[in-house]
Structure formats: C-alpha cells, structure tokens
Structure 1
Amino acid sequence: MTMKADDRLIAALDFHTMAEVKALVETLGDSVSYYKVGMELFYSVGGEVVRYLREKDKHVFLDLKLHDIPNTVAGGLCSLMNLGADILNVHASGGYTMMKTAADRLHAEAEKQGVPCPKLIAITVLTSINQEDWDGVGQTLPIKDAVVRLAKLAKSAGLDGVVASPQEAALIREACGEDFLIVTPGVRPAGSAVNDQSRIATPATALKNGASHLVIGRPIRAAADPKAAVEAILKEMETVK
C-alpha cells in the first residue's frame, strides 16, 4: 500500500469548540492533510467542523462508531455521508447483517446522488481494552484472535477496512490482504504518555505491522510545538518503506 506519510497520518481533533479546531488546523497548515472528528467534537459543534475541514481541502475521518440495528445504522450513515467525510465507521460487533446492510445502503445512496462513496470501516476491539476488561465482558477468544475474526467478518460484509490496535495490524494484513484499510489509534511516538490506551505502538512499528493510517491525538495537540511534533512523526513514518 503506497501512500505518502502525510496522507497516512490522521490528526485527532479531540476538542469541544471550533475555536480550538481552527487554532490547531491553522498551526499545522500543510503538514497535516487528514483529521479525525470524534464524538467529543461532533456532539459539540455538529457538521460545521466537517464542512470547515473540507473547505480547507482536508480529508476527514468521521469517527462516530455507529452501533444499532441494521436499518438505523444504514440510515445514519446515509445522513452523515452528506457532510462530505472521507471515512465513516461502525462497530463490527454489530454483526454481519448490520455491516452488510450499512455498506450496501451507503453505496446505493452515493450512486443515487452521483457522489463518491465514503470508505466504510469497522471498529474491531477498542484499543483501550486490556485482557482484564476483555475477560470481564465474558469473552473467551484472545483479543488478537477476536480482532482478526471481526476484521474478516467486516471484509466479507463489503467494508473497506477496520480500526484496530497496531499490535494486531500484521495479523489483519495477512488475513485480509493489501488493499484493506487498517486505521490504528493507540500510536504513541517514543517518550509520549500512554494515557488511556492499552495496546499501543510507535508510528514506525505500526506501519511495519501493516497499518495503512495512524491516528495520533494527544502527542500532537499537547506538544509545546504541535507542528514540530507532526514533522518529527512524519520523519519517523518516512523511514518505513
């Protein structure tokens, strides 16, 4: 999967206000072309942030993790598509029927409107979950095996990829092929705080493991010089061929 480093880095906009978003986007300038908009921000400012980023010619991963009955998820995705995001996502644990219905309806709606269809990816197992949490909800498969199983299920349902920890990326790449998107949160440059992530890796390790895109938030936005932090991350990413 050949992409430039700055197309593979997704900076997470984990803010509450448009003022904070605009300040960081202006600071980072051309060094970042892809941004993640999650629940914290979207629930505060709504679609305005996606429209702002598109006006700035930025790509958008709208990370809302839809998880409901098939018809509701499919309808929600079709509504979100109109905002212009490049990637949307659902929870793979919603099951094959939910994912297949969502993918089919999203593609049909995009074709009907004559617009490009966003990529649709599935959450496998949240990167904050450790083995104790996993056992606590009654799961019996090891996390890595469950992640691969969910990734293969998402692919069979017609999705374009998954969100998974960098520690499982190599197994997913082997199981699902080269064209499957693997978006990895839980990426921490050397020396960064772990915070609430459990299954983490450095940018170089995540890419070597097969990740197609890296989502990085706190190490950028909490840096004394966010642009310098991005440039250091990109430099590390470029060492991986």
Structure 2
Amino acid sequence: MLELHCHTTCSDGSLSPSQLVEAAARAGVKALAISDHDTLAGWDEAVEAGSRWAVEIVPAVELSTVWQGRSLHLLGFYPRREQLTPPLEKRRQGRIRRAEAMVQRLTELGYPIPMPNTPIAPGRPHLAQALVRAGHVRNACEAFERFLGDDGPAFVPYEKFSALEGIQLLRSCGAVPVWAHPGLFRGDPLENTFAALLGAGLMGLEVYHPDHSVRQKRQLLKLAQKHNLVVTGGSDYHGPNPAGFHLNMMGLSLDLLDALKAAHAQVSA
C-alpha cells in the first residue's frame, strides 16, 4: 500500500503526475512519493490528483550524484521547495549538457540521433527510445547493453557533484536523504560507500527495490537496523511496461511511512 519511488513525465516516466496517482490508486496504493530526477515539477499536479483519489502524496526527489566515478542516486523526502529549487535548476542544466555529450558520442560511433525533444532534461531512457526510433536498436534494453550502460561506449558521467554534497544539500533543505537502490551501485564495495555516506549524514536506505536480491535486502535491512536508519522501498515505477516493474509490487506496509515522517521531524527541527 506504500510506494516511495516513482517517476512521471516531469523526468523519465511515461505517465503524467495525475495519471500516476490514478494508476497508483487503482493498484491499491494509499501513499505515493513523487520522486522525479532532479525536479520538483510534478508535486502540485500530484497533490491535486491525490485529493481526488484519496492518495497521500509524499513530496520527494531523486538526486543525481557521483561517487567513485559512478552515478549514485539519493532520494530526498519532504524537502523545502523554496530552498531546493535553485540548486536543482543547476543540476537540470547539467543533465542537458550530459545528454548532449552522449548524443555527440553516439554520432561519432555511427549511430546518430536527434537530441530528444522533452519538456524536461533528457536522461538515458530518452536517448534509448531515440535509438529505437532511429532503427539502431530493437529496444531500450539493447540500447543500454550496447551503448548507454555505465560501461558503454556512449556513456557520459554526471557532472561532478558528489554524493556527500548531495546528502548535505538535502539535509540543508530539511529533507531526509536515503540511498536509492544501493544494491545496484558498482563504484565501490557497498560497505565502503555506506560508511562514507553515513558519515556525511545519510538517514535511510532503500531496502526494498525490485532489483535487490533476497540476500541484498537482508544485508541492507541489517545495516539500517544497526545504525537506526529509515527503511524505504518502492517499485521505481516509470510507467506501464509488460516486462517492467508495476505499482504496489513490493507490497510495502504504511508503517514505513511513520518512521520516515519521524525522521523528517528530526531533520527539520
């Protein structure tokens, strides 16, 4: 009944905020986080839709940072909009420059595509779809495997903005910083990265994610409990996809939201 990681057309999702809220309500979700990449643009529409569908909207963001030369994402819950919006605009401009650099690399490799025409900063999923439309690949998975993955020939890292800086930024804006899908990070052993993030003020771990194995969930839950951290989870939903993640697939209890709200009260005091 709880979804704490979802995306809309304000970043790289395929449903508008109101469409996402409706889909979540129909899937039985009672509380939904709008956690678009580096933008808060979907909040207002989602809150309005939430009032119609009896879904509590949790304001959030997924912040793009770098650690050990690899992208590391941080979820920030309940940030103060007026403080976070200006630095997020800088991040958005950086995402545009990154996409332009990846388009240039694809052209040099012999697979030209136009810069995706989106109302927000394009990400790798937008580039993947452009490769499909151009006939260079059969589907988005192939685009990532051949070109856009972290070790792919067209990959360009985010502009330097460390995960430690990201945590500090989120906390300065009254948000609860949570490490998103830590089981997917490949830049350093999990224990080393966790220690560094914890020292910078990390307050939570996204334990429940569709790409986490049972072993990883147990490891992350143990770390969270040992250090008294918030536990979150979600489907990382980007829109309808028969082969992809679906809303409410994690079956998470609303009890997790109580701990998150308590942590927010602590950081915003």
Category of TM-score, reference length = shorter chain: 0.3 to 0.5
Under a length normalisation based on structure 1, what TM-score does the superposition of the two structures give?
0.41
Q: Which has the larger radius of gyration?
A: 2
Give the TM-score of the pair, scaled to structure 2: 0.38
**Higher relative contact order structure (alpha carbons within 8 Å, sequence separation ≥ 6):** 2
